[in-house]
Amino acid sequence: MTAIRHDWTVAEARALYDLPLLELLYRAQTVHRDHHPPDAVQLCTLLSIKTGACSEDCAYCPQSGHHDTELEPERLLGVDEVLAKAKRAKESGATRFCMGAAWRDARTGAPFEQVLQMVRGVRALGLEACCTLGMLTDEQAQALAEAGLTAYNHNLDTSREFYGEIITTRTFEERLQTIRRVSDAGISVCAGGIIGMGESDGDRMAMLVTLANLDPQPESVPINALVAVKGTPLEDQPPVDPIELVRMCATARILLPRAMVRLSAGRSRLSREAQLLCFMAGANSIFYGDKLLTTGNPDVRDDMALLAEAGLRALVPAAGEGGKSVGPLPAE
């Protein structure tokens, strides 16, 4: 069994990332099989519960109020509407329902109570519940834990060094602080980042090393390839080379052996073969549903066909706490 280490260096991570591709894949697959079923993929569905007009200036994000994108802002959705969507996600085979809000920090008062009700409702459907609401106080983290939240997503997005090139309205340190609060409240941490924003390989590795050296390591690590949206400062970034995404997934798998490595934004641009290479590299979770937050995602029928043709199965939460088991693919 590969040990979990919290003393990774950027040089070590780079040495892995730069290995000959087949050697890197072999090592990642070896670690993967030590900790996970070899043929199972977790299906998570995303919903934007509050869209756009965000006060942060994240250069990649179509929802920032600082950029002139074609996005129509929307108020916080009602509890019934969200739970109806969660029910539909469950029926189509998702096991985790993730709710995202374009907030700098989670609201207080009635809107926060509304989110707590959504969390309780999603859990009552038998789904894992995840939220991403921006920065949290200790009290908010505690309240989310009491509502039964399974995981909280809060990405580092990039390295500490490159952070200021992408976001100026908050710091990398503030990001880490919310992650600590979530962890201290007993909620699983989901934290990852984006590639394709103009960062160096060293930045990519520094981000993975920061995540790996958290104790405990995050339960899930989303790896996003930038979706270059018109009107954002990163609109002209060239698409990520799929092989770099494969290398990123493989290095994440080796550094964070137990984490669910989620192949996240940017999947629409990937060929079936590139996605399968990412699974080979240790990615074992995807966003499943026709939309991410505001941008497109592969059609669910295409995803089902891809998984079925490759003989992959859906990961289902085990009864009781902790652990996962493997189930059949959902029927169409």
**Active site residues per annotation:** 54, 58, 61, 98, 130, 190, 262
- Residue 63 binds ligand SF4 (CB under 6 A): yes
Q: Which two tokens stand for residue 130?
A: 């995840």
In the region spanning residues 290 to 309, those forming contacts with ligand SAM, defined by CB under 6 A, are 293
Alpha-carbon span 24 to 242, nearest angstrom? 15
- Asked if 172 touches ligand SAM (CB under 6 A), the answer is no
| Residue 226 interface partner, choices ligand SF4, ligand SAM, ligand DTB, none, CB cut-off 5-8 Å depending on type | ligand SAM
Q: Token pair of 61, please? A: 């994000």
List of residues contacting ligand DTB (CB under 6 A):
46, 62, 98, 100, 132, 153, 155, 192, 222, 224, 227, 264-265, 292-295
- 61 contributes a contact to ligand SAM by CB under 6 A: yes
- Choose, by CB under 6 A, the member of 93, 100, 121, 317 that binds ligand SAM: 100
Among 189, 265, 270, 304, binds ligand SAM (CB under 6 A): 265
Nearer to ligand DTB, 217 or 294 (CB): 294
Crossing angle, helix 172-184 and helix 138-146, to 10 degrees?
Answer: 40
Asked whether position 179 contacts ligand SAM by CB under 6 A, the answer is no
Tell which residue, 228, 314, 242, has the closest CA to residue 272. Answer: 242
Comparing CA positions, the residue from 179, 186, 164 lying closest to residue 211 is: 179
Half-sphere exposure of 123 (CA within 13 A, CB side): 19
The reply to whether 98 sits near ligand SAM by the rule CB under 6 A is no
Enumerate residues 129-158 that contact ligand SF4 by CB under 6 A. 134
Which among 278, 269, 306 is positioned nearest to 222, based on CA atoms? 278
Q: CA-CA distance, 137 to 278, in Å (whole number)? A: 35
Instruction: Round to whole Å and give the CA distance between 289 and 245.
Output: 21
Q: Could you tell me the smallest distance in angstroms from the CB atom of residue 225 to ligand SAM? A: 7
- In this structure, the dihedral spanned by the alpha carbons of residues 50, 54, 55 and 60, taken in order and rounded to 10 degrees, is 140
Closer residue to ligand SF4 in complex, CB, 68/146: 68
Hey, what amino acid is at 279?
Answer: F
Binding part of the chain for ligand SF4, among 51-59, 82-90, 231-239, 315-323 by CB under 6 A, reads: 51-59
- Stretches 28-36, 56-64, 204-212, 239-247: which one binds ligand SAM (CB under 6 A)? 56-64
- Which C-beta is closer to ligand SF4: that of 63 or that of 220? 63
64 sits near ligand SF4 (criterion: CB under 6 A): yes
Which residues, at least 6 apart from 13, have a Cβ–Cβ distance to it below 8 Å?
205, 208, 209, 212, 251, 255
Please calculate the CA angle 90-277-290 and round it to the nearest 5 degrees. 30
Mask for 182-201, x = binds ligand SAM (CB under 6 A) = ------------x-------
Binder among 16, 40, 43, 54 for ligand SF4 (CB under 6 A) = 54
CB contact set of 225 (below 8 Å; sequence gap of 6+): 194, 195, 196, 239, 240, 245, 265, 266, 267, 269, 270
Is residue 97 at the binding interface for ligand SAM, with CB under 6 A as the rule? no
**Sign, Cα dihedral of 116, 121, 122, 128:** positive
**Residue closer to ligand DTB, measured from CB, 10 or 265:** 265
Q: Under the rule (CB under 6 A), what is the footprint of ligand SF4?
A: 54, 56, 58, 61, 63-64, 102, 104, 134
Which positions touch ligand SAM (CB under 6 A)? 60-63, 100, 102-103, 132, 134, 154-155, 157, 194, 224, 226-227, 229, 265, 293
